[in-house]
């Protein structure tokens, strides 16, 4: 955009920097000069001193200095600030002029050169006549200078040069053109900077000195001007603190000026400038709150200073600019590191700027509404001789005029007219939109989504006013859904109304219909008459006619729109639209539901579609169809006009197709699900409602899923919360809120009419062949065909159970290994109504624990649904949990022939094996037989025979057996040997004949066998009697192949007297035995210890008598002496 | 006094909104709606810092050229928004607070009505008259 009258001048907005002119440099042809110049301008970063350099020719003409006024007495200022002043001091009048001159100290033609240099300095001085600008000379030298003081020639000649050029020593510099150019340059520019500072300091002093000549009545303008100048010079001097101070003073002074209509613009312009400077410096000083406070003060002070009422738009334009430039400053400060917050960010200023721009537009429309015949005045009153204004903010036709009344009323009039005509050409909307979009960007950044939406609505509306309907619609459409989801219906309605107008003016049929749908509906807050008007227009659009224009559209646009609509009418083909309405709130509501969440396949699926219109007039539709996930059913879910209606408005006999506002209408669909769909879900994918007809335009309202729109979920929630008991409605009517959407249903198989009974006696016994009798009985009315039974372990249990469970149909097969845990599809054949079939099933569980068994009966049966013959597959499942327990426990022990416990047995000495079978089964067990299968290391003493054959054990009963065994000799002295196996053959008492016997094999424990060299056993009566002789015979057997020397002794005992060899040593030949006879004579009654027999084997000292003594009895029972049968005592008794 | 008073549901849709003058109703609706940005931000900030959860008054939400917007949020996250004219400098913070308190009390009464379904627009005469009393009398 080209700069307008209201834009701030660039010299105001830049950062003022000291201006230094460089002369005597030939940057085009001289490479050395070029390098010097480059070093000055390249890399001017923040660490370099703020100077703006310019190369000027040596004889450059600087702006002439006006003759100094000696007295202000008769001087009347013509304005506050000249338009050229800032630029003059920034770019035209240097603070310092530097003359570059190539001269070495050892120059042979020194005299000539020196005078040439002096001449050049003189030329510069002349052109700066009257200014305080400093002059400095830089000598460009090829040689590196010696340290100061060492080069006598140099110091002499330097002094001479200074003298010749009338320079102070501080203004003469040497620039050796060597390697360290940049370093020298930086030192040079620091020196220049000091000179410049001094210059601006003197300038400030000079301006300040004027003050004493001023008086308050005529020189008010000068007070402002001088303060502004001082502040500006301070800025050039980089003294921003003082600059701020002077600007603030200037600001106060500018508002003290006598304001009237003729100078209002000048005052406001200057106030705006100064305010800009203050805010800028405040942000620079990192005091943003001061900036904001200043700006607020500025706005409050200036808000009411409207000036000429005929040019009110100028005031709003200026206000808008104030806000905009503050926004820019704020934004710039943020880019430099300032943090803004949600409630204080540049967006607000841009927004306010946009508001003023809008106001400007309205005022312009109001004030500049001249007749088209009114043309721009000639001669142009805005033309000035110089092409520009002398002072900021003045009127071109009366520059410098400072009295209250305009000098020429006629000129004033044409001037105002010229301004008004010019204002007419301004593209206000463009300005407003630019500002709004700036604000949108800011609010987006500071998390204000709603503010952003609001501004976008305003942008859209502005585009609408600017007749850019496409952009307007795009913006409005974008934000519409935000307002819809937040349920701000009043705002949505307003946006929709604008959008409707846009779509009407562009003849966008689909958009027009979409917005109408919503504006007529329940979300719209429009009055009924407006709704009615829109609905009528909608019907017209559906009939392919041109709808009536929306109110408040301007007439030429409406005309253009009408012709567009007529073109649309002529266009055939594109007259079918599908509008996906679930994201809108259309005026027809839809809810579809399956009556139940699941249907048996032999029952028809029932689907209800509820429709309700919220529009003011009844509405007719021509088709309603429901799309289901299985499209084959779609044909059953259609309501259609049987014949093509001639006129959509004609009162039709098809009452069914007409929706009366506020009444809920129900459409019932029924269809038979296909048997293939058993176990599948049927979903409503969409409900389509066709408005209009093929002759006009067709609009399909499409609800995804089972209906509902952007507002319905909330409404449903509110309705569910509500406890309002609605009164019973008249028949056929439904309360809308009570209808809930059910968009899917399951097709499940027909209920089986078949019973499955299981007959068995749990628990199962481990390893047993457990019999289950499955009874299947048909209760169907027709033949159940193809009945199949799947029986066995229910899948999905522990994998180990599959390995340890065997299921068969015949008990005899059980021996084989290849049994599965589940028998699938055992064919049972057809079952007549009422027929019963029994199937025995044999199960063998190898491990204990619980198992779930499944009995699944499937069959097919013919039924009729809605006069349609279908074959239904039914199935009946029965499961049972069976516990498996151990049938009995077997305990085995080894005892000696005296039933003493043995922890080891001895070679060739008989011992007993005892087995105890303890029943743990809850059912009686029948032990068929038992068998001892001895290992080779053990032999039976006699023929072992089962002693428990055909015994029946009740729960908790125990059956024992006893076998006499001995071990044949072994190789080494001691070893552990296997005993063999014990096989118990058994079955459940209740099991039938054909159930095989179960053989349970128990491995007998190992036993330690030991061979002994000597075996002793005693032969004695079972009891003794006191004082009666008790003969005892000891047999001592030598089991070795050696002759054994045996030492024997009998220890005396208190209970016995005895006769026999008390101590003897004897020799026993291999394999023979020795008998020793003793006569014991018991002295006491009761259990008495026998006199102990000590045996020592001289060859086997390891065999102690302790070991041998184990074979011998240690005690005997002695009976008391019997009384003689006394006849007298009997007689006495 | 107030030029616009609004009650906003927890889900940020309006339960009650009234303004004077009525001809510029839409503008106030937008003002109230945009102020929810600041309310949301303040609520979430309170949630984070857990500073004095019981302070329901949110203070000045944001100043526009013409109006001042104040906010208040109940414990059930129902928001009250009061818009006053910027030129009305006589209103102090305390007075705004007491207006909100009154509004809250009256709102509580509405909620206590067994026939009122929470979440529905407020259509209570008592509430209406209380709001009217707080608003600038339209001439």
Confidence of residue A1130 (pLDDT cuts 50, 70, 90): low
pLDDT at A497: 93
Interface residue A713 vs chain B (CB under 8 A): no
Task: Name the one residue in this structure whose structure tokens are 């010079």.
Answer: A233
Q: State the nearest Cα–Cα gap between B101 and chain A, in angstroms.
A: 24
pLDDT at A724: 64
pLDDT at A1125: 61
Cα-Cα end-to-end distance for chain B: 14
Interface residue A72 vs chain B (CB under 8 A): no
- pLDDT (tens digit, 9 = 90+) per residue, A922-944? 889 888 888 888 888 888 888 87
Q: State the nearest Cα–Cα gap between B117 and chain A, in angstroms.
A: 6
Whole-prediction pTM: 0.74
pLDDT at A233: 93
- pLDDT (tens digit, 9 = 90+) per residue, A827-846? 888 888 888 888 888 888 88
Chain A residues within an 8 Å CB radius of B26: 490-491, 494
CA separation for the pair A276, A13 (Å, rounded): 8
pLDDT at A572: 60
- pLDDT (tens digit, 9 = 90+) per residue, A442-480? 999 988 999 999 999 999 999 999 999 999 999 999 999
CA separation for the pair B31, B83 (Å, rounded): 8
Note whether A277 and A233 are within 8 A (CB): no
ipTM of the complex as predicted: 0.93
Q: Alpha carbon of A133 to those of A18, A62, A187: distances in Å?
A: 12, 10, 21
pLDDT at A651: 44
Nearest CA in chain B to A343: B62
Mean pLDDT, rounded, for A793-819: 76
- Closest by CA to A375, choosing from A438, A325, A414, A421, is A421
Mean pLDDT, rounded, for B116-125: 90
Mean pLDDT, rounded, for B108-114: 91
Find the CB nearest B119 among A299, A451, A718.
A718
The answer to whether the CB atoms of B14 and A449 lie below 8 A apart is no
Q: State whether the Cα torsion A622-A628-A634-A636 is positive or negative.
A: negative
Confidence of residue A111 (pLDDT cuts 50, 70, 90): confident
Kind and range of the H or E run holding A1017: strand A1014-1019
CA angle A1083–A1087–A1090, rounded 5-degree value: 65
Nearest CA in chain B to A722: B117
Q: Alpha carbon of A541 to those of A544, A556, A565, A578, A693: distances in Å?
A: 5, 21, 9, 15, 11
Share of chain A above pLDDT 90, in %: 24
B contact test, residue of A450, A457, A495 with most B CBs within 10 A: A450
DSSP designation for A64: P
Chain A residues within an 8 Å CB radius of B19: none
Find the CB nearest A488 among B33, B65, B120.
B33
- Closest by CA to A994, choosing from A841, A812, A844, A842, is A812
CA angle A951–A952–A954, rounded 5-degree value: 140
CA separation for the pair A291, A279 (Å, rounded): 5
- Closest by CA to A841, choosing from A807, A794, A815, A790, is A807
pLDDT at A973: 65
pLDDT at B44: 82
For residue A291, pLDDT beyond 90:
yes
pLDDT at A460: 94
Mean pLDDT, rounded, for A356-372: 87
Q: State the nearest Cα–Cα gap between A70 and chain B, in angstroms.
A: 49
A contact test, residue of B37, B119, B121, B122 with most A CBs within 10 A: B37
The answer to whether the CB atoms of A721 and B118 lie below 8 A apart is yes
Q: And the tokens for A759?
A: 């007959």
CA separation for the pair A543, A426 (Å, rounded): 43
DSSP designation for A742: B
Note whether A909 and A968 are within 8 A (CB): no
| Helix axes of A449-465 and A489-506: crossing angle, nearest 10 degrees | 30
Residue B93 main-chain phi, psi, to 5 deg: -55, -40
- The mean predicted confidence, pLDDT, of chain B is 85
Burial class (CB in 10 A: 0-12, 13-18, 19+), A669: buried
Find the CB nearest A491 among B29, B37, B65.
B29
pLDDT at A725: 58
Note whether A50 and A95 are within 8 A (CB): no
- The mean predicted confidence, pLDDT, of chain A is 85
- Closest by CA to A960, choosing from A902, A904, A912, is A912
Q: State whether the Cα torsion A899-A900-A903-A906 is positive or negative.
A: negative
CA separation for the pair A156, A427 (Å, rounded): 71
A contact test, residue of B17, B22, B30, B79 with most A CBs within 10 A: B30
Note whether A1102 and A1046 are within 8 A (CB): no
Task: Name the one residue in this structure whose structure tokens are 């909608």.
Answer: A538
Interface residue A724 vs chain B (CB under 8 A): yes
pLDDT at A141: 85
For residue A1093, pLDDT beyond 60:
yes
CA separation for the pair A491, A778 (Å, rounded): 68
Nearest CA in chain A to B16: A488
CA separation for the pair A719, A702 (Å, rounded): 24
CA separation for the pair A1085, A1026 (Å, rounded): 6
Mean pLDDT, rounded, for A945-960: 87
Mean pLDDT, rounded, for A1025-1033: 87
Interface residue A949 vs chain B (CB under 8 A): no
Chain A residues within an 8 Å CB radius of B41: 342, 447
Chain centre to alpha carbon of residue B127: 13
Task: Name the one residue in this structure whose structure tokens are 């006549």.
Answer: A129
Q: And the tokens for A938?
A: 């053990």
Strands annotated E in A749-867: 754-759, 764-765, 769-778, 784-793, 805-808, 822-831, 836-845, 849-865
Confidence of residue B47 (pLDDT cuts 50, 70, 90): low
Nearest CA in chain B to A725: B115
Q: Alpha carbon of B19 to those of A375, A1007, B7, B33, B138: distances in Å?
A: 45, 107, 12, 13, 10
Nearest CA in chain A to B37: A448
Share of chain B above pLDDT 70, in %: 91
Q: State the nearest Cα–Cα gap between B51 and chain A, in angstroms.
A: 20
Could you give the residue ranges of the DSSP H alpha helices within A859-928? none
B contact test, residue of A293, A351, A490 with most B CBs within 10 A: A490
For chain A, the C-alpha Rg in angstroms (whole number) is: 62
Find the CB nearest B38 among A342, A352, A723.
A342
How many Cβ atoms from other residues are within 10 Å of residue A918's Cβ? 14
pLDDT at A684: 92
Q: Helix/strand/coil (H, E, C) string of A282-348?
A: HHHCCCHHHHHHHHHHHHHHHCCCCCCHHHHHHHHHHHHHHHHHHHHHHHHHHHCCCCCECCECHHH
Helix (H, G, I), strand (E, B) or coil at A53: strand
Find the CB nearest B33 among A352, A450, A718.
A450
Kind and range of the H or E run holding A252: helix A240-256
pLDDT at A371: 75
CA separation for the pair A566, A540 (Å, rounded): 13
Q: Give the contacts of A369 (CB within 8 A, at least 6 positions apart).
A: none
Chain B residues within an 8 Å CB radius of A300: none
The answer to whether the CB atoms of A488 and B25 lie below 8 A apart is no
For residue A251, pLDDT beyond 90:
yes
A contact test, residue of B33, B64, B116 with most A CBs within 10 A: B33
The answer to whether the CB atoms of A722 and B33 lie below 8 A apart is no
CA separation for the pair A1112, A1092 (Å, rounded): 9
Mean pLDDT, rounded, for A1064-1086: 87
Interface residue A445 vs chain B (CB under 8 A): no
Chain centre to alpha carbon of residue A404: 69
- pLDDT (tens digit, 9 = 90+) per residue, A676-733? 888 899 999 999 999 887 777 888 999 988 888 888 888 888 888 877 656 566 666 6
Nearest CA in chain B to A490: B26
Residue A337 main-chain phi, psi, to 5 deg: 120, -5
Note whether A1031 and A1077 are within 8 A (CB): yes
CA separation for the pair B134, A75 (Å, rounded): 60
pLDDT at B29: 93
pLDDT at A230: 94
The answer to whether the CB atoms of A491 and B30 lie below 8 A apart is yes
- pLDDT (tens digit, 9 = 90+) per residue, A643-680? 444 444 444 445 678 888 888 888 889 888 888 888 89
Chain A residues within an 8 Å CB radius of B37: 342, 447-451
Q: Higher model confidence: residue A122 or residue A1098?
A: A122
Nearest CA in chain B to A355: B65
For residue A199, pLDDT beyond 90:
yes
Find the CB nearest B34 among A355, A450, A724.
A450
CA atoms within a 13 Å half-sphere pointing along the CA-CB vector of A978: 10
Find the CB nearest B37 among A447, A494, A718.
A447
């Amino acid at each position: 955009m080209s700069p307008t009258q209201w834009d701030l001048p660039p010299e105001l907005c830049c950062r003022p920097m000291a201006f230094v002119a460089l002369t005597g440099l030939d940057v085009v042809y001289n490479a050395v000069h070029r390098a010097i110049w480059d070093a000055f301008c390249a890399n001017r970063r923040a660490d370099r001193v703020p100077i703006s350099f310019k190369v000027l020719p040596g004889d450059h003409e600087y702006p002439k200095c006006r003759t100094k006024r000696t007295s202000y007495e008769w001087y009347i200022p013509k304005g506050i600030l000249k338009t050229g002043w800032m630029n003059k001091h920034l770019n035209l009048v240097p603070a310092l002029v530097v003359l570059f001159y190539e001269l070495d100290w050892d120059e042979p033609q020194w005299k000539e050169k020196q005078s040439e240099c002096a001449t050049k300095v003189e030329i510069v001085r002349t052109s700066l006549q009257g200014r305080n600008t400093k002059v400095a000379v830089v000598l460009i030298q090829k040689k590196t200078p010696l340290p100061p003081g060492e080069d006598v020639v140099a110091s002499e000649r330097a002094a001479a040069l200074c003298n010749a050029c009338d320079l102070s020593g501080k203004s003469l510099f040497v620039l050796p053109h060597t390697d360290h150019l940049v370093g020298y340059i930086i030192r040079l520019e620091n020196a220049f900077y000091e000179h410049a500072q001094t210059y601006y300091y003197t300038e400030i002093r000079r301006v300040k000195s004027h003050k004493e000549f001023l008086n308050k009545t005529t020189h008010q303008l000068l007070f402002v001007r001088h303060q502004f100048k001082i502040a500006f010079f301070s800025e050039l001097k980089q003294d921003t603190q003082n600059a701020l101070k002077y600007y603030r003073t200037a600001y106060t002074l500018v508002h003290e000026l006598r304001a009237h209509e003729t100078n209002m613009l000048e005052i406001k312009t200057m106030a705006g400038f100064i305010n800009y400077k203050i805010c800028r410096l405040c942000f620079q000083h990192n005091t943003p709150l001061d900036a904001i406070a200043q700006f607020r003060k500025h706005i409050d002070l200036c808000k009411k200073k409207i000036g000429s009422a005929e040019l009110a738009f100028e005031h709003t334009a200026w206000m808008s600019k104030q806000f905009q430039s503050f926004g820019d400053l704020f934004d710039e400060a943020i880019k430099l590191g300032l943090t803004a917050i949600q409630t204080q960010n540049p967006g607000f200023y841009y927004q306010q700027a946009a508001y003023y721009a809008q106001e400007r537009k309205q005022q312009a429309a109001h004030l500049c509404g001249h007749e088209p015949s009114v043309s721009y005045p000639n001669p142009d009153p805005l033309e000035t001789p110089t092409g520009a204004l002398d002072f900021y903010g003045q009127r071109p036709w009366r520059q410098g005029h400072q009295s209250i009344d305009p000098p020429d009323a006629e000129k004033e009039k044409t001037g105002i007219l010229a301004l008004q005509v010019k204002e007419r050409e301004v593209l206000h909307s463009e300005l407003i939109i630019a500002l709004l979009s700036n604000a949108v960007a800011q609010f987006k950044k500071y998390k204000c989504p709603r503010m952003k939406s609001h501004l976008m609505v305003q942008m859209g509306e502005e585009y609408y006013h600017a007749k850019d309907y496409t952009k307007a619609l795009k913006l409005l459409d974008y934000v519409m859904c935000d307002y819809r989801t937040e349920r701000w219906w009043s705002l949505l309605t307003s946006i929709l109304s604008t959008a409707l107008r846009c779509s009407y003016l562009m003849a966008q049929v689909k958009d027009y219909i979409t917005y109408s749908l919503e504006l007529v509906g329940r979300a719209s807050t429009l009055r009924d008459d407006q709704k009615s008007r829109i609905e009528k227009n909608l019907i017209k659009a559906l009939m392919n006619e041109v709808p009536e224009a929306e109110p408040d559209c301007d007439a030429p646009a409406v005309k253009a729109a009408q012709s567009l609509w007529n073109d649309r009418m002529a266009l055939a083909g594109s007259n079918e639209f599908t509008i996906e309405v679930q994201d809108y709130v259309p005026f027809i509501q839809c809810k579809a539901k399956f009556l139940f969440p699941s249907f048996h396949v032999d029952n028809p699926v029932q689907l209800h579609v509820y429709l309700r219109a919220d529009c003011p007039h009844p509405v007719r539709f021509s088709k309603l169809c429901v799309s289901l996930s299985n499209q084959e059913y779609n044909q059953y879910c259609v309501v259609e006009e049987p014949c093509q209606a001639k006129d959509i408005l004609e009162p039709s006999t098809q009452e069914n197709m007409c929706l009366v506002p506020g009444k809920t209408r129900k459409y019932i669909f029924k269809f038979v699900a296909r048997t293939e769909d058993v176990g599948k879900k049927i979903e409503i994918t969409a409900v389509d409602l066709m408005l209009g007809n093929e002759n006009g335009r067709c609009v399909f309202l499409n609800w995804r899923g089972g209906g509902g729109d952007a507002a319905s979920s909330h409404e449903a929630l509110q309705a569910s919360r509500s406890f309002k008991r609605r009164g019973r409605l008249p028949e056929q009517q439904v309360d809308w809120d009570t209808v809930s959407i059910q968009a899917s249903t399951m097709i499940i198989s027909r209920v089986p009419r078949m019973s499955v009974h299981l007959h068995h006696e749990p628990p199962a016994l481990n390893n047993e062949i457990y019999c289950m009798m499955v009874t299947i009985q048909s209760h169907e009315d027709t033949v159940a065909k193809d009945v199949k039974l799947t029986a066995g372990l229910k899948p999905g249990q522990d994998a180990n159970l599959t390995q340890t469970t065997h299921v068969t149909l015949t008990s005899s097969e059980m021996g084989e290994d290849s049994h599965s845990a589940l028998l699938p599809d055992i064919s049972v054949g057809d079952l007549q109504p009422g027929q019963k079939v029994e199937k025995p099933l044999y199960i063998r569980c190898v491990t204990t624990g619980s198992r779930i068994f499944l009995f699944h009966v499937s069959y097919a049966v013919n039924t009729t649904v809605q006069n349609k013959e279908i074959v239904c597959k039914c199935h009946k499942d029965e499961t049972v949990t069976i516990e498996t327990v151990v049938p009995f426990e077997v305990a085995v022990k080894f005892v000696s022939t005296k039933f003493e416990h043995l922890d080891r047995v001895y070679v060739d000495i008989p011992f007993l094996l005892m087995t105890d079978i303890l029943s743990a089964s809850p059912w009686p067990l029948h032990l068929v037989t038992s068998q001892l299968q001895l290992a080779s290391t053990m032999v039976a003493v006699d023929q072992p025979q089962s002693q428990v054959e055909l015994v029946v054990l009740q729960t908790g009963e125990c059956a024992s057996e006893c076998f006499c065994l001995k071990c044949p000799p072994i190789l080494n002295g001691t070893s552990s040997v296997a005993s063999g196996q014990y096989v118990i053959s058994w079955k459940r008492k209740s099991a039938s004949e054909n159930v095989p016997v179960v053989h349970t094999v128990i491995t007998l424990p190992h036993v330690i066998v030991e061979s002994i060299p000597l075996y002793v056993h005693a032969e004695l009566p079972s009891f003794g009697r006191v004082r009666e002789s008790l003969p005892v015979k000891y047999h001592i057997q030598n089991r070795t192949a050696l002759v054994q020397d045996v030492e024997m002794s009998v220890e005396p005992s208190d209970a016995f007297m005895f006769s026999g060899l008390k101590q003897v040593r004897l020799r026993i030949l291999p394999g023979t035995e020795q008998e020793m006879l003793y006569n014991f004579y018991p002295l006491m009654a009761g259990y008495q210890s026998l006199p102990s027999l000590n045996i020592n084997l001289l060859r086997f000292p390891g065999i102690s008598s302790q070991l041998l003594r184990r074979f011998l009895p240690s005690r005997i029972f002695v009976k008391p002496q019997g009384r003689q049968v006394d006849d007298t005592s009997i007689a006495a008794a | 006094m107030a030029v616009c008073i609004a009650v906003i549901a927890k889900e940020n849709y309006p339960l009650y909104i009234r303004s004077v003058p009525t001809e510029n109703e839409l503008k106030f609706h937008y003002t109230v709606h945009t102020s929810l940005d600041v309310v949301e931000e303040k609520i979430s900030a309170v949630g984070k810092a857990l500073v004095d959860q019981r302070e329901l008054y949110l203070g000045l939400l944001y100043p526009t050229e013409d109006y001042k917007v104040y906010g208040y949020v109940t414990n059930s996250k129902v928001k009250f928004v009061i818009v006053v004219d910027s030129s009305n400098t006589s209103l102090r913070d305390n007075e705004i607070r007491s207006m909100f308190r009154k509004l809250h009390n009256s709102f509580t009464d509405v909620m206590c009505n067994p026939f009122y379904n929470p979440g529905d627009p407020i259509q209570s005469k008592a509430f209406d008259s209380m709001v009217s009393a707080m608003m600038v009398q339209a001439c």
